[in-house]
Amino acid sequence: MAVSGRFVAVVLLGLVPVLLFPGWLTVLATTAVLGALLGADLLVAARLGQVTVARAQPPNVTLDNEAEAVLTVSNDGSRRLRGSFRDGWQPSAGAQNPVQDVDVPAGERRRFAVRLRPVRRGDLAAPHVTLRAFGPLHLAARQRTIGCPGSVRVLPPFHSRRHLPSKLRKLRELDGKAAVQIRGAGTEFDSLRDYVRGDDVRSIDWRATARRSAVVVRTWRPERDRRVVMVLDTSRTAAARIADETRLDTGIEAALLLGVLAERGGDRVDFVAFDRRTRARAGAAGQGNILGRLVQAMAPLEAELIEMDWSALPAQVRAVSAHRSLVVLLTSLDSGAPEEGLLPVAERLASQHVVVVAAVRDPQLGAMLRERDDATAVFRAAAAERALLQRAAVTAELRRYGVEVVDAEPQELPPRLADMYIRLKAAGRL
């Protein structure tokens, strides 16, 4: 049972006769009247045992967008249901109108829409709905919590989508340029065409020239159907907040842009989220939109407060692709001792694959480096300089093993990783 604010006002009104005619008889009479009103109103209220609530599963929604959760309230009793309900979405679902008034005649049903504006990525749940049925005086209400589980999957926002048109334009320019200029091992034969002045004589096809009695050259195109394996580090270092988002969210943005770009470039894309076990996996097997599979796999990911098992990483890559591939490690350059984790694994992978390490650099380091107004700021600048020198040392060691490194601030990491892919593709290294 629940009482309303109107009943509280009636109780305060009942204090008037008690103050005017003090005595036990007045108190008892006022209490009896209030109790009778409360009981009568509660007795006439609709019985919630004869009310059912059904929930329609809301569609997936992108972070910062809105969705609607639809509830259907059915009144199977003989009394009109007047009251309210509260939809029990967790706070991060951002329910705009979780409490709504209900008025359902006997034997009928009504639909109600709850607007959701999520503030975090992942699977957000609503385990129940709480109903209140008031009487005609609106003094008291029957209350019941009905189990009505529901959930909505909030997908990554993919803010780096804005870089996709320019990167695709570079890929198309690469296709047009490569047909004339690229040759040699690591590129794919495209077609034959007539020789024009300025062509490399080493690209002349002498057999075709003999058959046509005219000089013919081979043309080449960028490699296609190569494997791109993206490995996202979900260990404790991914929980660090850099700028206004976690390192994990920045890695997701970079992986989405690279995945879509590689698919448009004709390559096969695989994604693995890993720390000590595989948290998510998405691949290019079968037909369909790679972006949809990636966002579905990435949506529930959260950083785990455990150390990365670097020794198991080569086996994870081998399980995805046994052939030479482009392996992109989205991780951190300042996580613990890289000499015992990242460096030996990167060297081992680089002997079989083309390896790119993509890491997020905190822009605060640059700001601390420039501020030297007082002694405290100088010490901060020294600490920032040391951190940057350590990152530079790890980067130099990785490049010595033949590993490409993309070390950039959060907003710059996705486009710079995409540019690295385009450069490797143009060089025929995939």
Q: What does the DSSP assignment read for 147-162? A: EEEEEEEEEP--GGGG
Instruction: Give pLDDT, residue 85.
Output: 94
- Three-state secondary structure call for residue 26: helix
pTM exceeds cut of 0.75: yes
Please give the single-letter amino acid code of residue 279: R
Tokens 């109108």, residue? 97
User: In angstroms, rounded to a whole number, what is the distance separating the alpha carbons of residues 46 and 107?
Assistant: 12
Token pair for 265: 């470039």
Instruction: Give pLDDT, residue 222.
Output: 56
CB contact at 8 A, 182 and 428:
yes
Q: Please list the residues that pair with 147 across neighbouring strands.
A: 128
User: In angstroms, rounded to a whole number, what is the distance separating the alpha carbons of residues 294 and 284?
Assistant: 10
Regions of the chain short of the pLDDT cut 50: 178-186
Instruction: Give pLDDT, residue 186.
Output: 38
Token pair for 399: 């490049």
Per DSSP, 204 falls in state B
Please give the single-letter amino acid code of residue 272: V
Instruction: Give pLDDT, residue 189.
Output: 61
Token pair for 252: 């997701």
Instruction: Give pLDDT, residue 282.
Output: 92
Instruction: Give pLDDT, residue 29.
Output: 87
Instruction: Give pLDDT, residue 182.
Output: 41
CB contact at 8 A, 82 and 54:
no
Please give the single-letter amino acid code of residue 109: R
